[in-house]
Structure 1
Amino acid sequence: MKLYLLRHGQTNYNVLGLCNDSPTPEVRLTPLGLEQAAAAANRLRDVRLDRILTSELPRTRETADVVNRDHGVPVAAHRDLNDWRTGLDGRPVADLYAAIARDPLHTRLDGGETLAEHRARVFRFFGWLGTQRDERVLIVGHEETLRAAAAYFRHLTDEAMLALRFENGELLEFDLPPR
């Protein structure tokens, strides 16, 4: 299965430097975020997709809808693609990184999940996806989702995974062998 993984376009929370791991706050794509989604749509225009999978957070669906104008395939949310539940929703990203600096993979904050738990959730998703019959799937997710995907497909160490950075609108490609 050919996978295309796309980080959602820029949001108002990205501009403000705020964490968002809940689908309820009004976190939407900015005009630049819509441009990033359109640029991704242009890169994927000639790719035949079978379906698009997103997280449950609206910014991934907004991005997917822009891309899907050229494809008209089913779009579905999968909860295992949800962003890392940091426990600091609505708080500054700088506070998050300061709080987890000593042990980024295993620190749990305010009832959230650890980054290691998030990674395991994304890995579980790829196990499930390997049982599906699609040939080409677009996954619209979050930076941490792309980090976990890169770790999964490139067999990265924890340190290498943590060093990765992905811009809004960045697109990755991987091959997922069938199970």
Structure 2
Amino acid sequence: MDFYCMRHGRTNYNDLGLCNDDSGRDVYLTETGIAQAQSAAHGLRGAAFKRILVSPLPRTRQTAEIVNRYHQVPIEIHADLADIRSGFESKPVADYFAAIDHDPLRARINGGESLLDHKQRVLRFIDWLRVQGDETLLVVAHEETMRVFIACFEGGIEDAQLRDIHVGNCEYRHYVLPR
């Protein structure tokens, strides 16, 4: 199976440096984010996607809809693709990082999930993905999710190094999933 994954376009919360894992918040692509998605869409126009999978957060669907202008395929929500539940909804990302600094992999703050909890959720998605058949898929998700994909498919990355992986808005990767 051909599997493409990409991070969503830049959002108003990216500009403000705020956490978001609540799909009910007014988080949307900025003009820059729309332009990033259009550029990625152009770069992916030759891929033969059969469907696009997105997280429950609207910014991933908004990005997917722009890419889908070239493909006209179903867009489906998959809950395991949601961004990490930080426990810092609408609060500064810097405050979240400071709160987990004592144990970045295992800390659960304000009822959120740890980075390792999030990783396990994404690995569950990857297991699900492996049995989906031989179709070509695009997954539009979040930076934390992309970090797990990169570590899983590119190898040699320890859990403690996950935070060192930086993925730009609308950056995408292509992998071939063995069955």
Give RMSD over aligned pairs: 0.8
- In structure 2, give the amino acid aligned to 1:54: V
Q: Which residue number in structure 1 is paired with residue 173 of structure 2?
A: 172
Unpaired stretches in structure 2, ≥5 consecutive residues: none
Which stretch shifts more, 169-178 or 138-147? 169-178
Q: Which residue number in structure 1 is paired with residue 24 of structure 2?
A: 24
- TM-score if structure 2 supplies the norm length? 0.97
Deviation, 1:5, is 0.7
The SS at the match of 1:165 is: coil
- Equivalent positions of 1:1-179 (< 5 A) are 1-155=1-155, 156-178=157-179
Asked if structure 1 preserves the Cα contact closer than 8 Å seen for 2:49 and 2:137, the reply is: yes
Deviation, 1:134, is 4.0
Unpaired stretches in structure 1, ≥5 consecutive residues: none
Per-residue CA shift, 1:96-137, capped at 9, x if unaligned?
111111211100000011110000000000000101114211
- Separation in 2 of the partners of 1:143 and 1:109? 19
Asked if structure 1 preserves the Cα contact closer than 8 Å seen for 2:105 and 2:160, the reply is: no
Asked if structure 2 preserves the Cα contact closer than 8 Å seen for 1:3 and 1:138, the reply is: yes
- In structure 1, give the amino acid aligned to 2:133: R
Deviation, 1:172, is 1.1
- TM-score if structure 1 supplies the norm length? 0.97
Asked if structure 2 preserves the Cα contact closer than 8 Å seen for 1:50 and 1:134, the reply is: no
Per-residue CA shift, 1:138-179, capped at 9, x if unaligned?
00000001001111112321123221011111111111112x
The SS at the match of 1:63 is: helix
- In structure 2, give the amino acid aligned to 1:98: A
Asked if structure 2 preserves the Cα contact closer than 8 Å seen for 1:55 and 1:79, the reply is: yes
Instruction: Provide the identity percentage.
Output: 49
- Separation in 1 of the partners of 2:134 and 2:41? 20
